């Protein structure tokens, strides 16, 4: 089979800096593991807007549809805050998700032992934490119609619509149950069935799909309670299944449990392509962090772990994904820290490239 293809869309802010480290890791797998990827690069977000006046060029969209996987850095920044809504950097990302139909967004929140002290929660609450959030990514209030701002009785009214079909809920639920079967066999589904009809339908459909997964223990929780439980006793969860907006909020919350947003990867998966691989995009959960861009301070681990997810979910290279994750675990255990993983008194942090260096060394040692 031809070498698998990757499209890198590094984007804005710290996106290009962290992606530079991922490119070195990709190169390592080519040199040392005979796993060679055909890599192309293009623009997204503000960078695309600067070049083309749109946050995602049609040609880039077409390329994204053709490759085996997209690796995305981050989009956005203060420079673009005043742009018209339709060309804001985020629209580029949302277009990729929607047109590639990446309905299952996997956001693992894992606590590395070496960082357990760094969480804002007490160590015993988060040591060994391993949660997988499955966020529905192509529907709900992010995309529902009608939407917009219009005038009613001389007053501005803002509208967004939370809309879910049963098919959309069903496929997200299947993704969550399938994952749970390979993990702790527990799914907690979160919605607001107490106030939203879409939440009632969500709960009903998830319960129906569960009939095909008798081995999995299913529970339901209102999303507000879910947020509270995440900070009260996060280890009660295995897989959390939730909609697009609740998933956005709950995943930031879960991410911070582990100490830093700079650590959390994600995979966005769609339907299988002709070659059997799912349509897929991999991106760190963190944003473009304009406050630290260009200073070599960014933590590249979330982006590197996103590539590990690509190895696992797109390329069936679970053992190589394990190798990369183990290398990261090792450097953290040895004390490697970027600034986001240190207190002010903790000495000199590693630069983005230095963190890349130690991970590459750990990879070499793994051979
Ligand atoms: C995320 C981000 C995006 C979202 C933004 C950048 C559009 O917050 O991936 O969590 O809201 O989905
Ligand atoms: Mg978010």
Full DSSP string of 231-247: HH-GGG-SEEEE-HHHH
Residue that is last in its domain, among 257, 282, 310: 257
Give me the domain span that covers residue 165.
Answer: 130-257
Residues forming beta bridges with residue 242, ordered by sequence position: 135, 190
Determine the distance separating the centroid of ligand 2 and the alpha carbon of 246, expressed in angstroms. 10
10 Å CB burial of residue 203 (0-12, 13-18, 19+) is middle
Measured CA to CA, the distance from residue 126 to residue 115 in angstroms comes to 10
Q: At what angle do helices 301-313 and 318-333 cross, to 10 degrees?
A: 160
Q: What is the β-pairing status of strands 217-222 and 186-191?
A: parallel
Residue 122 lies in a domain: no
**Predicted local confidence at residue 313, as pLDDT:** 96
**pLDDT value at residue 259:** 78
Q: How many CB atoms lie within 10 A of CB 19?
A: 25
- Closest CA to ligand 1's atom 12: 248
pLDDT attached to residue 119: 85
The answer to whether 77 and 46 have CB atoms below 8 angstroms apart is yes
Which protein residues touch ligand 1 with a CB less than 6 Å away? 90, 93-94, 248
Query: Do 365 and 298 share a domain, yes or no?
Result: yes
Radius of gyration for the alpha carbons in the chain, expressed in angstroms and rounded: 20
In a shared domain, residues 241 and 223: yes
* Protein residues near ligand 2, an ion, with CB under 5 A: 248
- Residue 260 confidence (pLDDT): 80
Of 269, 363, 315, the closest CA to residue 22 belongs to 363
Q: Which of 257, 273, 298 is the last residue of a domain?
A: 257
pTM beyond cutoff 0.85: yes
- 169 in the same domain as 284: no
Q: What's the 154 CA to ligand 2 centre distance in angstroms?
A: 34
Distance, in Å, from the CA atom of 138 to the CA atom of 243, rounded to the nearest integer, reads 9
Which residue has the least CA distance to atom 7 on ligand 1? 90
* Ligand 1 atom with the shortest distance to the CA of 93: 7
Instruction: Determine whether 309 is exposed, middle or buried from the number of CB atoms within 10 Å of its CB (0-12, 13-18, 19+).
Output: buried
Our count of domains for the chain comes to 2
Give the distance (Å) from ligand 2 centre to CA of residue 31. Answer: 35
Rounded to 10 deg, the angle between the 352-365 and 301-313 helix axes is 40
Q: Annotated active-site positions, please?
A: 142, 192, 224, 248, 252
115 assigned to some structural domain: no
Whole-number Å distance, alpha carbon 287 to ligand 1 midpoint, is 8
> Can you tell me the distance from the alpha carbon of 246 to that of 142, in angstroms, rounded to the nearest whole number?
11
Question: Final residue of a domain: which of 209, 230, 257?
Answer: 257
Give the residue, out of 133, 136, 287, with the most ligand 1 atoms within 8 A of its beta carbon, to mutate for a pocket test: 287
CATH number at residue 184: 3.40.718.10
What is the predicted pLDDT for the residue at 36? 97
Taking the CA of residue 105 as reference, the ligand 1 atom at the shortest distance is 9
Contact 73, 283 (CB under 8 A): yes
Nearest by Cα to 72 from 108, 101, 45, 35: 45
Nearest ligand, CA 137? 1
**pLDDT score of 346:** 84
Find the DSSP H helices in 34-77: 46-52, 58-66
* pLDDT digit string, tens, across residues 3-15: 999 999 999 999 9
Closest ligand 1 atom number to CA of residue 287: 6
Q: Same structural domain for residues 246 and 276?
A: no
Q: In which residue ranges of the chain is pLDDT below 70? A: 1
Question: Which pLDDT does position 345 carry in this prediction?
Answer: 83
C-alpha to C-alpha distance for 122 and 116, rounded to whole angstroms:
8
Q: At what angle do helices 58-66 and 89-99 cross, to 10 degrees?
A: 40
């Amino acid at each position: 089979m031809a070498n698998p293809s990757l499209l890198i869309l590094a984007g804005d802010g710290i996106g290009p800096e962290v992606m530079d480290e991922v490119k070195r890791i990709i190169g390592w797998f080519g040199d040392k593991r005979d796993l060679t990827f055909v890599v192309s690069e293009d623009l997204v977000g503000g960078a695309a807007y600067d070049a083309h006046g749109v946050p995602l060029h049609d040609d880039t969209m077409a390329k994204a549809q053709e490759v085996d996987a997209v690796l995305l850095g981050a989009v956005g920044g203060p420079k673009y805050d005043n742009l018209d809504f339709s060309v804001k950097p985020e629209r580029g990302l949302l277009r990729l998700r929607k047109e590639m139909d990446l309905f299952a967004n996997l956001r693992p929140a894992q606590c590395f032992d070496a960082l357990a002290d760094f969480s804002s929660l007490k160590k015993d609450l988060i040591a060994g934490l391993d949660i997988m959030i499955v966020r529905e990514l192509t529907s709900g209030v992010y995309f529902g119609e009608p939407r917009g701002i219009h005038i009613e009785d001389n007053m501005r009214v803002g509208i967004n619509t939370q809309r879910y079909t049963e098919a959309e809920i069903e496929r997200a639920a299947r993704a969550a149950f399938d994952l749970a079967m390979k993990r702790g066999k527990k799914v907690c589904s979160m919605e607001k069935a107490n106030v939203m009809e879409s939440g009632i339908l969500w709960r009903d459909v998830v319960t129906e799909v569960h009939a095909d997964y008798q081995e999995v223990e299913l529970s339901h929780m209102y999303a507000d309670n879910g947020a509270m439980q995440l900070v009260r006793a996060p280890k009660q969860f295995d897989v959390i299944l939730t909609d697009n907006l609740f998933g956005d909020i709950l995943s930031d919350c879960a991410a911070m449990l582990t100490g830093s947003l700079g650590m959390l990867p994600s995979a966005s998966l769609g339907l299988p392509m002709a070659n059997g691989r799912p349509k897929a995009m991999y991106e760190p959960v963190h944003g473009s962090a304009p406050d630290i861009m260009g200073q070599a301070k960014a933590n590249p681990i979330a982006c590197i772990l996103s590539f590990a997810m690509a190895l696992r979910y797109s390329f069936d290279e679970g053992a190589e994904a394990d190798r990369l994750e183990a290398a990261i675990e090792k450097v953290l255990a040895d004390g490697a820290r970027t600034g986001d993983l240190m207190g002010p008194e903790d000495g000199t942090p590693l630069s983005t490239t230095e963190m890349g260096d130690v991970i590459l060394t750990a990879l070499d040692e793994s051979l």
